[in-house]
Structure 1
Amino acid sequence: MTESSVTHATVVLERSYAAAPARVFQAFADVEARKRWGRPSPSVELVYDKADFRVGGVDVSRCGPRGKLIYRVETRYLDIEPGHRIISAEVVSEGWNKLSISLITVELQAIGTSTRLVLTDQITALGGKDMIAGSREGLGASLDNLVAELSRLPVEA
């Protein structure tokens, strides 16, 4: 018998990017861009089955090791202030089992011509602390990948 557990955590990640907040925001708004920078590593595959980046909109994606998309991620956008803030609720599942539920806030602040990004993941892990560590590592790697993505976007974005 598998013992069910609930673990709560708040994960806060901060990054600085040599790009204006509008460019950083565009990397979140553009699903094709998110497909590129949102994978934590080249060995992970990320597919969007639905992408609706607007308040009330829902993204549905699948991810996992290449060729084995075992995780389903449903993201509902609760608040979007272009260039400043994105707040979403996220449910990660494997089959019928919910693994985690999160409230994620992304804040963008202009610092001269650069952007300070603060991502806060208020996560409830269902089944153990491994989901919290995995979320921290995956989100951190994705935010690191965002540096390369920002160099791909047009300057006026």
Structure 2
Amino acid sequence: MTIAAPVNHDTIVLERLYDASPARVFEAFADPEARMRWGAPSSNTGLVYDEADFRVGGLDISRCGPKSNLIYRVETRYHDIVPEQRIISTEIVSEGVNRLSFSLITVQIEAAREGTKLTLTDQIAAFGGASMIEGSRAGFNAALDNLHAEFART
């Protein structure tokens, strides 16, 4: 009998206000080139999309990790997309044959007086300890902070 790794669950909710229109915020998620610019959480981290299919039912396949060794594979399946309002997807993160986490991710985009309010909710099930949850929290926090610079580009 194989003993399964323990499962840790958490819900991560992050909010940001951006000085950009809802259309521009939505486009930053829809465009894989833009996601590669702002999605890597640090200058030492790489993010590459091998496949990008941003549509309901579409699948993105990306690799990430240290720039010299993109060891993590991420499969993102899109389940609901309402332009300028929301994106709902599932995400599987693996390292080799080992699955590290499964997530249901909801991105809500709302017009606000200051521009756009974005709320990202990551309902995550991680295997083998809480470090994957903390990594997801830190990664999304840094990426959403990077999104400010994306809007300052033009």
After TM superposition, the score normalised by the length of structure 2 is 0.96
Give the C-alpha shift of residue 80 in structure 1: 0.3
Give the C-alpha shift of residue 2 in structure 1: 8.3
Residues 148 and 2 of structure 1, relative CA distance in 2, 3 Å threshold: farther
Give the C-alpha shift of residue 150 in structure 1: 1.3
Gaps of 5+ in 1: none
* Alignment coverage as a number of residue pairs: 153
Equivalent in the alignment of 2:113:
112
Report if aligned partners of 2:17, 2:114 keep a CA contact under 8 Å in 1: no
1:147 corresponds to 2:152:
no
User: Once the two structures are aligned, what percentage of the paired residues are identical?
Assistant: 63
Equivalent in the alignment of 1:8:
9
Equivalent in the alignment of 2:58:
57
Equivalent in the alignment of 2:30:
29
Equivalent in the alignment of 2:67:
66
- AA matched with 1:138: G
Equivalent in the alignment of 1:46:
47
Equivalent in the alignment of 2:128:
127
Residues 3 and 79 of structure 1, relative CA distance in 2, 3 Å threshold: closer
Gaps of 5+ in 2: none
Q: Secondary structure at the match of 2:9?
A: strand
Consecutive aligned runs of 4 or more in structure 1 exceeding 6 Å deviation: none
User: Cα RMSD over matched residues?
Assistant: 1.3
Give the C-alpha shift of residue 112 in structure 1: 2.5
